[in-house]
Amino acid sequence: MYIIKANKISKAFGENKVLNEVSFSVAEGEIFGLIGPSGAGKTTLLNILTGQIKADSGEAFVCGLASSDPNDEFYLSMGIVFDTLGLFERLTGYDNLAIYADIYGIGKENIATALNSVGLDPNNKTKAFQYSKGMRQRLAIARAVLHKPKILFLDEPTSGLDPAAKADIHELLLDMKKDGTTIFLTTHKMDEAYKLCDRIMLINNGTAIEIDTPFNICLKYNADKKIIAILKDGSKKTFNTDEKSADEICELLKSGSIESLHSSEPSLEDVFLKIAKGGVDVNEA
Amino acid sequence: MKLRRIKAVYKKQFADKNALRSVVFQSVIYPLMAMMFSLSGDESEKFIMVSTLTPMFVGSSPMLTVNNLVREDKNGGALRALTLASVRPLEYIIAIALFMLSISGATTLLMGVVGGMDGIGLMYFFLSTMLGCLLTVMLACSISLRKNSRTNAVMFINLISILNGFVPLIGMLYPSATVVTKYWYTQQVKEVIGSIYSGNTQGLWFSFGVIIASLVIFTLLFVVSYRKNRIFSQE
């Protein structure tokens, strides 16, 4: 069952066409990544999906509700963490969430649950502005999941975080996925997309280039189709995928001179760079 | 529109103790000044201080405060977070206005007491100043909604708040200017105070008439600004 459905979304700011007939859908319970270089249209698409701006044409539905006309039910179905976080800086983590508990009309007992779920102490009296970047990010996620939304939107969730804090957030998101939360995230970090996302959409200049699993996309852009053998003497040998190469590899294996074998499909980062530099012909792959 | 969302945003203003302290200080400074300058004086000095400082407070303090609160929420992203949590722009504005009116109410009561008013006089004073504060809040919201740039808004709000607060002084220094200024609400707040001290309540009808007419005009202005609002938009 699809929890997000976007159909031919287009958007321009003045003369600048930011999105061009973007269509995709996100299944319930998956982590879907929106990947693209800066200025590709990721945030605009996120803003359209979450009802913050209206598309010029096309339609988007979240939990079956039109994002062009967001009502209370629409907002309650989602939790959102965006780049500026929007915390009440001079309030504690608990007090930040208490305001939102009142807004949603839910019990205060949910606050401790949400804070605990992101590893923050509900009794911590530190003000939000004194939090580390990672803690602020976690507080924003706690706020987003406070009302137990069906879908969580995250705009660059680990931007500016150190590797440890980034790993914490990744773990947290994977735990949420296990609990059945659908996650839609935008990122330009390929390792993050590869690690977290079930499927990704590569977007460039407002056009969706690819929608598939990260693994399949890497396979698809494997233009070289080579096999690399690292030999025990430390040298490297590259083979094609034809019959002759297969025989050669077999010989080397039999002689015990191969340390390891590798396929040569590009990393997601290579695909991304190719797209960012505009070197992708959609039909090429 | 949901009352619980208005209440939540209203409560948030009180939860932020630092911001609350600065808002209270910015407001209470007016009655404190009136008290200081009229401590050793007689009734006429009290009248001068209260009738000068009250319209200044009514015309400028709520405007500066409302603009600061909205701008801080806007620039820090809190306004966006609230909107995405289903808080409607009108609910937010009502909450901010109610917060400002609560602070203004306490301040004007204090000002009335400092000015030695009581009974029906205090009631007229409170009513006129509260309506005046409401008008200032509406004006501030209308400007804030239209100005997306922080610099533009701050510059404009500062200018308007100074002019607004000083209208009665202009009228006092240049009596011929009252032909125009008498139709402005801060001037009429001053006239109400004058009527209370003189005991001549004949002019109250005109004063409250101007204030009520301003309320109608400012509501229309607010509606137009709200429809064209840019501050809640991400575009």
Q: What is the mean pLDDT of chain B?
A: 88
Q: Do the beta carbons of residue A20 and residue A8 sit within 8 Å? A: no
Using alpha carbons, list the distances in angstroms from residue B144 to A64, B79, B140, B153, B163.
Answer: 35, 13, 6, 6, 17
The answer to whether residue A22 scores a pLDDT higher than 80 is yes
Give yes or no for A215 touching B (CB within 8 A).
no
- Cβ B81–A85 below 8 Å, yes or no? yes
Per-residue confidence (pLDDT) for residue B231, from 0 to 100: 63
Give yes or no for B81 touching A (CB within 8 A).
yes
Question: How far apart are alpha carbons A65 and A57 in whole angstroms?
Answer: 17
pLDDT in tens, A162-173: 888 888 889 989
In chain B, how many domains are there?
1
Give the tokens for residue A17: 């066409």
CA A192 to chain centre: 7
Per-residue confidence (pLDDT) for residue B5, from 0 to 100: 95
* CATH number 3.40.50.300 given to A2-213: yes
Give the tokens for residue B227: 């429809």
Per-residue confidence (pLDDT) for residue A226, from 0 to 100: 81
pLDDT in tens, A74-111: 999 999 999 889 999 999 999 999 999 999 999 999 99
| Chain A, window 31-60: residues with a beta carbon less than 8 angstroms from a chain B beta carbon | 47, 50, 52-53
Per-residue confidence (pLDDT) for residue B234, from 0 to 100: 57
Strand extents, DSSP E, chain A: 2-13, 16-27, 31-35, 57-62, 65-66, 78-81, 151-155, 182-187, 199-204, 207-212, 227-231, 236-239, 258-263
B217 lies in some domain: yes
Question: How far apart are alpha carbons B114 and B57 in whole angstroms?
Answer: 14
Per-residue confidence (pLDDT) for residue B233, from 0 to 100: 63
Mean pLDDT comparison of A264-278, B67-81, B147-161, highest-scoring range: B67-81
Distance from CA of A276 to the nearest CA of B (A): 25
State which residue of chain B sits closest to A96, comparing Cα positions: B12
Selected for mutation to probe chain B from A94, A103, A184 (highest B CB count within 10 Å) is A103
B234 lies in some domain: no
Question: How far apart are alpha carbons A28 and A177 in whole angstroms?
Answer: 10
Task: Kindly report which listed range (A14-18, B7-11, B25-29, B41-45) carries the lowest average pLDDT score.
Answer: B41-45
pLDDT in tens, A150-196: 999 999 888 888 888 888 889 989 998 998 999 999 988 888 898 99
Residue predicted with more confidence, B114 or B10: B10
Give yes or no for B16 touching A (CB within 8 A).
yes
The answer to whether residue A244 scores a pLDDT higher than 70 is yes
Per-residue confidence (pLDDT) for residue A283, from 0 to 100: 39
pLDDT in tens, A130-149: 999 999 999 999 999 999 99
Selected for mutation to probe chain A from B4, B21, B84 (highest A CB count within 10 Å) is B84
The residues spanned by each domain of chain A are: 2-213, 223-264
Domain range for B88: 3-227
Percent over 90 (pLDDT), chain B = 49
**If you search the block for the tokens 């040569």, which residue do you land on?**
A264
Distance from CA of A108 to the nearest CA of B (A): 13
The answer to whether residue B93 scores a pLDDT higher than 70 is yes
Q: Do the beta carbons of residue B186 and residue B164 sit within 8 Å? A: yes
